[in-house]
Amino acid sequence: MRPALAVLLKGSVPVSVGAFLLYGLDRAAAPSGGRHRFALEALAQALSQKAVPYVHAGVMVLAALVGVFALFAALECASDNRWLKALADAHGHYVLVDELSDPAWDLLRRAHRAQHVMLKSRVHGEDLIDRAANEYMFPAQLWEIALSLALYSKLCRQEPDHPQGTALISVLRDRRRALGAGLRGITSRVRALEDYAQQTAEADARYAELEQIRYLNDRSDQVPDLVARTAGDEHAVEEVEGKAAWAETVTDAFGQALREAQEAGREAFPR
């Protein structure tokens, strides 16, 4: 009710001004008891009598608007409270950016970029590198990384800003050494995801190259005839026909890139 009360208090000012104005016009519009009125007084009374209905309607509309705005403020606050309660109930199922330190947030962004590269690749979309496992394992890996980074950031924030005493400094040194080891472990996992994404991008590039070669080969049946007819050079014919060997080489490269991507996936997602 507090947002609604704030609106009502603010709206009461113009409503009160309107009410006082209406009261003054009512008094001015009331018939005078004197028999002889001045012309200016009669004019003011006539104008007041005409203005009273409009001012009365304006005050009523203004009061109604204040009430409507107060109702909307109360409903909006109630909706926000429901969202906040839902977030509180879901605590532990999400990680906020404010919970992460700068190094932790940088690592999490790197992991998200790796996921984006992998999930948007053609070899993933065409199920050439175990699409089902990627769509399940990558979010699970990201969630575990986010939880670990949130815990790391929380432990870092628990340290005193101005440590004093030899014993405390020694304890903090050992603690930071342990935290650094934990962060290096998380970093190695992120790097494994990045390597997987890089291998996937390389496989995508080889795949696109292979498709372009196949496109040209499918439309090059008459190229040897054209070269032989125009040049009469058997060497040129052999050179054009050698494109098939080139295509085979690229195919092998694509297969190797796929195998490397799959191997990187197995390293990133240990069974």
According to the model, what pLDDT value does residue 33 have?
A: 53
> Under 8 Å CB-to-CB from 112, ≥6 apart: which residues?
142
Count other Cβ atoms within 10 Å, centred on residue 206: 21
According to the model, what pLDDT value does residue 23 have?
A: 67
According to the model, what pLDDT value does residue 70 have?
A: 79
- pLDDT by residue for the chain (271 residues), tens only, comes to 777 777 777 777 777 777 777 667 666 666 655 544 555 555 555 666 666 677 677 778 878 888 888 787 777 877 777 776 776 776 677 888 888 999 999 999 999 999 999 889 888 888 887 788 788 888 888 999 999 999 999 998 887 767 677 777 788 888 888 988 999 999 998 998 898 888 888 888 888 888 887 777 777 666 666 655 665 555 544 554 555 565 566 567 777 777 777 677 676 666 5
Angle at 104 between CA 99 and CA 106, to 5 degrees: 115
Burial string for 167-199 (b: 16+ CB within 10 Å, else e) reads eeeeeeeeeeeebeeebeebeebbebbbbbbbb
Q: Which two tokens stand for residue 265?
A: 């996936």
Rounded distance between C-alpha atoms, residue 192 and residue 11, angstroms: 61
According to the model, what pLDDT value does residue 124 have?
A: 85
Could you tell me the residue ranges of all domains in the chain? 40-94, 97-218
According to the model, what pLDDT value does residue 36 have?
A: 46
Rounded distance between C-alpha atoms, residue 186 and residue 191, angstroms: 9
